[in-house]
Structure 1
């Protein structure tokens, strides 16, 4: 699966020196207004200048983004339909979804790795837990008695906690929610005892002393929470996870087209005004090309395969 992904990125196709000759559609597999949608609109506007054609944002939500991703996977491989992708559509579904209508790593190829987003282990500000070790010790001392929230079965927030459970050999009960807002409300109220979520989504609650961050999952500390240690600094390096987002295309797009799109989107996300806006939203603009993006995806596939199979995570 991963070998096919890497090879397909660099398959030579027909020459496409005149690409693009008409507008490009960028599928955002979620509703308008969310973080992925904002990322798409910011980078598409700038990339369109480089390409000389407009980029139309098409929001196609549903099934955790799989409906939009499937439409791109089945599209003509000519570079005119792209996907604003994340792990939720590409590297997690092969291991947790019993029925898929397409094979994400085979049917989609990387174009440009745009941003990484830190996730953070969070507890109520009323909790006595102040470190990851406190959380683990509490869980070990009360096996099966603690609850943790997620934004749904098979989501990043779910699998991150399963990764910590696997690393720490703890038993805590999963309580899936329909989104971050109700989960965070119950976390504040003490109905659940912990959760992994994005730093951006909880920064105001942390600032307002409603929630307490224990550690971020990225290799470096988050600019939004510079005083919060990383999971590795906290003694749990195997729970170091980068939550990525980037541009992908249908498999079979000629290399000449991939390279044009890659250059346009990398330059877009690294443009100072775009970088600054994304940083304020809690994202880390990385601006890497197709080859490096393929390596990130391959590593991610292996990680979520290990966690999902070990913990028996399945989306029914």
Structure 2
């Protein structure tokens, strides 16, 4: 009996030693870092904090927001890609960091598809063109007329080169035959503040960031980049309605983990985040910010992301968009 007990104990220890770390220890056993690859105040940061406040208690831990801005989300994304795949690092990925940048940066420090495992798509939202409250531009046509009269004199801020804000500007110039001055920042927060202050003429930004400033009157909305007008901005025409046919840019926000993160952890994260996104108050909050919430599975997000990478590669090539 004694010998049999020793053998069973040895077998149990051997089996435990072969299990992955997540199976041996309860996860999560410590705080989880949520990397936001943009400065505080932008769309990704706002959504990360909204979700993090609810995700921490749901998992029985703390979610620590870590802002690492730069290069259109590439700096923070590379940090996340190199982090241990143990479930303690998640990333707020965007259309720029996970679909656009790979076609713009010749030496990107990560692969937007191979370096990550998708967890969830938070939602999508169009971009809106805004100017400061004291701007002489009342319509998009005013902007285009000024840019055509004096090329490269009208300035437009963005959250960084390669972001949806930057691509929207480049596409506007390409489709309207005009030229603008692109002024990249390290995030939407500081960029829109300079639009408000009049240091920069205008900016394409997501409704998450621009919405509150539109409501307060600090900026004026000239056009939205969606195919149809928004319920939250019914009096603001689309870019297409304003004379630039076939123009549409829709931004999106997702959550990713480093590739190789155990599937059970990815599944648990997805389940808890989806519960949060489906809460009535969260749905109302997202829609109020101009976002269309998503309920995609991780597999559906992966397919969606691959299609987005291909789509923007074609757009960037056709428009001849280059980084400054």
TM-score, scaled relative to structure 2: 0.75
Distance 1:181 1:77 in 2: 30
Gaps (5+ residues) in structure 2? 1-19
- Please say if residues 75 and 81 of structure 1, whose CA atoms lie closer than 8 Å, have aligned partners that are also in contact: yes
| Aligned match for 1:150, one of 146, 152, 157 | 157
Gaps (5+ residues) in structure 1? 1-13
* CA deviation string 1:192-230 (max 9, x = no partner): 554312334444554465543222123453344222123
Q: Is 1:22–2:29 an aligned residue pair?
A: yes
| Aligned match for 2:170, one of 137, 149, 162 | 162
Deviation at 1:38, TM superposition (A): 3.2
Q: Is 1:218–2:226 an aligned residue pair?
A: yes
**What is the SS of the residue equivalent to 1:111?**
strand
Distance 1:32 1:190 in 2: 21
Distance 1:194 1:120 in 2: 10
Report the number of matched residues. Answer: 301
More relative contact order in 1 or in 2 (CA 8 Å, sep 6+)?
Answer: 1
Deviation at 1:107, TM superposition (A): 0.6
| Aligned match for 2:261, one of 242, 253, 266 | 253
- Please say if residues 28 and 57 of structure 1, whose CA atoms lie closer than 8 Å, have aligned partners that are also in contact: no
| Aligned match for 1:56, one of 63, 85, 104 | 63
Distance 1:208 1:32 in 2: 20
- Please say if residues 83 and 89 of structure 2, whose CA atoms lie closer than 8 Å, have aligned partners that are also in contact: yes
**Root-mean-square deviation (Å):** 3.5
TM-score, scaled relative to structure 1: 0.77
Distance 1:32 1:194 in 2: 20
Distance 2:171 2:125 in 1: 18
**What is the SS of the residue equivalent to 1:120?**
strand
- Please say if residues 42 and 188 of structure 2, whose CA atoms lie closer than 8 Å, have aligned partners that are also in contact: no
- Please say if residues 29 and 62 of structure 1, whose CA atoms lie closer than 8 Å, have aligned partners that are also in contact: yes
